[in-house]
Structure 1
Amino acid sequence: MDTHFTGYLFTQPWWLLLLLALIPLALLKNRAGSRSSIIFSSLSLLGSLGTRQRDIAGRISLAFLSLFIIFSAISLARPQKQNSHTERKASGIDIIISMDVSFSMEIADFRFDGRTVQRDLVSREVVKQFIKQRPNDRIGLIPFAGQPYQESPITLEHDWLLGKIDKVRPNRELSQGTAIGSALSASAIRLDKRQDTKSRIIILLTDGSNNSGKLSPIQAAEAAKTLGIKVYTVAIGTEGGRLNGQRNAAQEFDTETLEQIAKITDGEYYRAKSTNDLVKAFSSIDALEKTERTQKVVATYQDFHHYFTFAAALSLLGHLVILCFHKSAGPE
């Protein structure tokens, strides 16, 4: 469907009734006058040699007059184009997503799109879907391994944020380990700088237990509680998943600490042993932290009548010029 004219309107459309004046002009144009049905020799034929040129000039003059009426009617009807854009208002809920990017997130023990994939890939896809469902929340990203890294500040620019999440992957150049306490502390500090919010939450996604950093997860959770920040913890991974050469991966999970973090901060703990579990965890968080979807539609209008006014003036000028030449060509 052609949408080139979408948004155009006339603010005073009744002026288009002037177009009805074209009807008598059309009748006048088609009226050729009576002609004799008997052909006879006459010297008067010589006197009518210039008639055809004068008739052509009259027709052109009439055409210019018709254009003048058309352009004038459109100009007086005030054609405009409506341009609308939506202003989003932040919901008042600020979220930090703290994602584990330690080496163990490369374990391939999840199914996604019919194939076995690594934990970090599933995590990125589910997190991106969560962000898309909350367009009015300010969301930031702090990945961590042996220490936290600020990848994205809290922002409403979600397209930019989604691009950042695509680049968050386990990196052997990062300090290895799982610094849950430090990640919580860094996330809480970032959220505490925003004093204009009604709700602040951290979503901690990890597949291991705290084994790096100077701050324990419980200490970090208590500090977050003091600041009024809730922490939702998500433990990801199957108990049988392991890296090549690793005998026992199950010992890496510290569900007890993650449960305690959530309890201290009035959050929730989730155990994701499959892609479906992970999707349900983020869907639950989305339902628990309701957001106001406040939007304001702002419309601006662009006038186009001056183009038609100019065209009408040129048409009238053309009509008058031809009319003057037409009269000057007649008998004196």
Structure 2
Amino acid sequence: MYELEEKGYLYLLFLIPILVLLFLYIQFWKRKKQREFGDLDLIKKLSPEKSFFKPVLKLTIVLLGFACLVIGLVNPKMGTKMEKVKREGIDIVFAVDVSKSMLAEDVAPNRLEKSKQLVSQLINQLGSDRIGIVAYSGSAFPVLPMTSDYGVAKMFLQSMNPGMISSQGTSIDQAIELASAKFFNKKDKTNKLLIIISDGEDHTDNAESAAEEAQKLGIKIITVGVGTEKGGPIPLKRNGIVESFQRDKDDQVVITKRNAEVLSKIAKSTKGGYVDGNSTKLVLDYVKKVLDNTEKTEFGATQMADFKSQFQWFLGFGFFLLFLDVFLTERKTKWVRKMNLFNEEKETRE
């Protein structure tokens, strides 16, 4: 098992094909100028020591050295074994509304992207809590089971979109029931928190009763309302360009509004709280306060242990290759010249 600590440096590897293309262009330009200067065969005879293989070899060594330095900056780490570690925290499930109304752009860039940003920021301030992710619209879908790997959680989070669930609508009760049944272990004494991020447009009347059942299992619910009370239309896009807006059966443009009242009632059913999701700071501060006031429970978590940095090998080999390049000239090597691999000696004598 391995992990890359600083993945951002990998973008530097895109410089390699650019350097190769630049090298090929320079070689083409040199050939062109040589033809303008005189006969190519005559130029070869006038410079018998010049190697046509060495520049390619030097470029290859430099690029390999550069690639090794980049990988060294990324700092790959190798794990040697899996072990069970003890952690203290709570179990948190994020239920994210992915219905079409979440595409409304009354908050930037739209309600769904704002929800993803909120969840990502909340994950950043967690310590050793276990988290899971649920997506819901007309039905609920388990996106990520309970895990302590926050990197994986963020990756799955970014893939969420309205197309991942075929049944449209907004059924908050489905999300609560799925989280209660599949994510939270009834026998586990760990404190449980369900954070619902939605615009509050609930097409069923069962959310409050589902919340009350969740409370019996020891689950506290925090609801986060995204969107404005004024609301906005639902854009229908193709290739990122708005073509039209969602319309109802009377051919009127649908205006979707945040329903804070519904979300507030759901939260109160479990003695939780409602917070305005349009303010990231407000949400972060509120959830942090709830977490600080929640008792942490010890639980076991399986993870890769003994991760060791391997950057020194790549940096060392990279600097060695660049150092080697300094001593390579573009003249033919004597022993290579004697082997006459490219039949160059014969051509020169002729």
TM class, shorter-length: 0.5 to 0.7
Deviations 1:257-291 (A, max 9, x none): 2111111101101123x3xx144113311221127
For residue 92 of structure 1, what is the amino acid of its counterpart? G
After superposition, residues 79-228 of structure 1 pair within 5 angstroms as 89-111=86-108, 117-171=109-163, 174-193=166-185, 195-212=187-204, 216-228=206-218
Moved over 4 A (4+): 85-88, 245-248, 291-294
Correspondence 1:289 to 2:309: no
Distance in 2, matches of 1:137 and 1:145, equals 26
Distance in 2, matches of 1:88 and 1:287, equals 26
For residue 285 of structure 2, what is the amino acid of its counterpart? S
1:262 to 263, 267, 285: 267
Q: Confirm or deny: 8 A CA contact 1:89 1:136 kept in the other structure.
A: no
For residue 110 of structure 1, what is the amino acid of its counterpart? V
CA drift of 1:204 comes to: 0.5
What is the SS of the residue equivalent to 2:197?
strand
CA drift of 1:235 comes to: 1.2
Structure 1 portions without partners, runs of 5+:
1-82, 112-116, 301-332
CA drift of 1:209 comes to: 2.0
CA drift of 1:94 comes to: 0.2
Asked which structure has the greater CA Rg, the reply is: 1
1:249 to 255, 274, 277: 255
For residue 282 of structure 1, what is the amino acid of its counterpart? L
CA drift of 1:172 comes to: 7.2
Deviations 1:78-123 (A, max 9, x none): xxxxx9x998643230001000000111112223xxxxx1111121
Distance in 2, matches of 1:96 and 1:167, equals 17
Identity of aligned residues (%): 29
Report the counterpart of residue 3 of structure 1 in structure 2.
none
RMSD across aligned positions (CA): 3.1
Distance in 1, matches of 2:180 and 2:263, equals 16
Residues 1:198 and 1:245: Cα distance change in structure 2 (over 3 Å): closer
Number of aligned pairs? 205
Report the counterpart of residue 240 of structure 1 in structure 2.
231
Q: Confirm or deny: 8 A CA contact 1:93 1:197 kept in the other structure.
A: no
CA drift of 1:127 comes to: 0.7
Q: Confirm or deny: 8 A CA contact 1:92 1:197 kept in the other structure.
A: no
Deviations 1:6-56 (A, max 9, x none): xxxxxxxxxxxxxxxxxxxxxxxxxxxxxxxxxxxxxxxxxxxxxxxxxxx
CA drift of 1:173 comes to: 5.7
Distance in 1, matches of 2:132 and 2:207, equals 20
CA drift of 1:299 comes to: 8.7
Residues 1:159 and 1:181: Cα distance change in structure 2 (over 3 Å): same
Distance in 2, matches of 1:162 and 1:299, equals 24
What is the SS of the residue equivalent to 1:256?
helix
TM-score (norm 1): 0.55
Q: Confirm or deny: 8 A CA contact 1:152 1:164 kept in the other structure.
A: yes
Deviations 1:154-203 (A, max 9, x none): 11111111110010122176211001011111111234325334310100
CA drift of 1:237 comes to: 0.3
Residues 1:172 and 1:166: Cα distance change in structure 2 (over 3 Å): closer
